[in-house]
Amino acid sequence: MAAPQKKVIVTCAITGGIHTPSMSPHLPITPKQIEDEAVAAAEAGASIVHLHARNPETGQPSQDPALFRQFLPQIAARSDVIINLTTGGAPNMLVEERLQPALELKPEIASLNMGSMNFGLYPMLARQKEFKHDWERPYLEGSEDRVFRNTFKEIRYILESCADNGTRFEIECYDTSHLYTAAHFIDRGILKPPFFIQSVFGLLGGIGTHPEDVQHMRRTAERLFGSDYYWSVLGAGRSQMPLATMSATMGGNVRVGLEDSLWDGPGQLATSNAQQVRRVVDILRSLNLQVATPDETREMLKLKGKNAVAF
- Kindly tell me if the per-residue pLDDT of 136 is higher than 90: no
Whole-number pLDDT of residue 126 = 85
Nearest to 259 by CA among 178, 170, 179: 170
Q: Which of 43-57, 117-131, 134-148, 282-296 has the lowest mean pLDDT?
A: 117-131
Please report, as a single letter, which amino acid is at residue 23.
M
Distance of CA 57 to the CA centre of its chain: 24
Identify the band that residue 196 occupies on the pLDDT scale cut at 50, 70 and 90. Answer: very high
Alpha-carbon distances of 91 from 17, 24, 193, 269, 297, rounded to whole Å? 9, 20, 28, 25, 29
Nearest to 182 by CA among 149, 152, 140, 148: 152
Whole-number pLDDT of residue 4 = 65
Nearest to 284 by CA among 70, 47, 56, 17: 47
With contact defined as beta carbons under 8 Å apart, do 86 and 111 qualify?
Answer: yes
pLDDT in tens, 11-55: 999 997 655 656 688 999 999 999 999 999 999 999 999 999 999
CATH of domain 7-308: 3.20.20.70
Nearest to 195 by CA among 159, 237, 228, 156: 228
What's the mean pLDDT in 164-168?
96
- What percentage of the chain carries pLDDT values higher than 70? 96
- For the chain, the domains span 7-308
Q: Which residues of 261-296 are buried (b: 16+ CB within 10 A; e: fewer)?
A: bbbbeeeebbebbbbbbbbbbebbeeeebebbebeb
Identify the band that residue 2 occupies on the pLDDT scale cut at 50, 70 and 90. Answer: confident
State how far the Cα of 307 lies from the Cα of 292, in Å rounded to an integer.
Answer: 20
Bridge pairing between strands 117-118 and 147-148: antiparallel
- What percentage of the chain carries pLDDT values higher than 90? 83
With contact defined as beta carbons under 8 Å apart, do 83 and 309 qualify?
Answer: yes
Task: Please give the DSSP secondary-structure letter assigned to residue 190.
Answer: S
Query: Taking all residues of the chain, what is their mean pLDDT, rounded to a whole number?
Result: 94
What's the mean pLDDT in 241-266?
95
pLDDT in tens, 63-107: 999 999 999 999 999 999 999 999 998 888 999 999 999 999 999
SS3 of residue 203 by DSSP: coil
Residue 62 has a CB neighbour count (10 Å cut-off) of: 21
